[in-house]
Structure 1
Amino acid sequence: MANEVQVLPFPLKGGHPPAVKAGGMRISKKQEIGILEKHTKTSAIANVAKVQAMDALNDTLEKIKRRIK
């Protein structure tokens, strides 16, 4: 019952519900879940890339320290 679509008594402009503003972006209600998943995946990938970059920099610094001594 919760998944039923409500029928509005007046026709919708353009045949779809209006977009809502969420976090500075206009998102139609159908797209909200997909966009949230996309941002979650992107941030997780970005975090992995940051960790890998930091590991590479740390390894490089360790090698330089060994050469200096």
Structure 2
Amino acid sequence: MQFTVHAAKTNLSKLIDAALAGEEVVIAKGRKPVVKLVAISQGKFQIGILEGQLEGPSPDFFEPLDEDDLTAWEGGR
């Protein structure tokens, strides 16, 4: 849906709700579209989301690698 700048000012809350609902909201100067109102993803980052679901010991990233692993990481065989 397309709105003029004046209509967008008057109905901004409704246009934001429409964008959040996934509708395409375009704002135009006169008849020329100039801006698209897009919702920002609200995904939440959570550390430890798989805690207790993985088998085996978890790696200790602060411990040095053994020689075979270090050689593999450095491109050796």
TM-score band (shorter)? Answer: under 0.3
With structure 2 as the length reference, what TM-score do the two structures score?
0.23
Larger Rg: 2
With structure 1 as the length reference, what TM-score do the two structures score?
0.24
Q: Larger RCO: Structure 1 or Structure 2 (Cα < 8 Å, ≥ 6 residues apart)?
A: 2
Would you tell me which structure has more strand in proportion to its own residues?
2
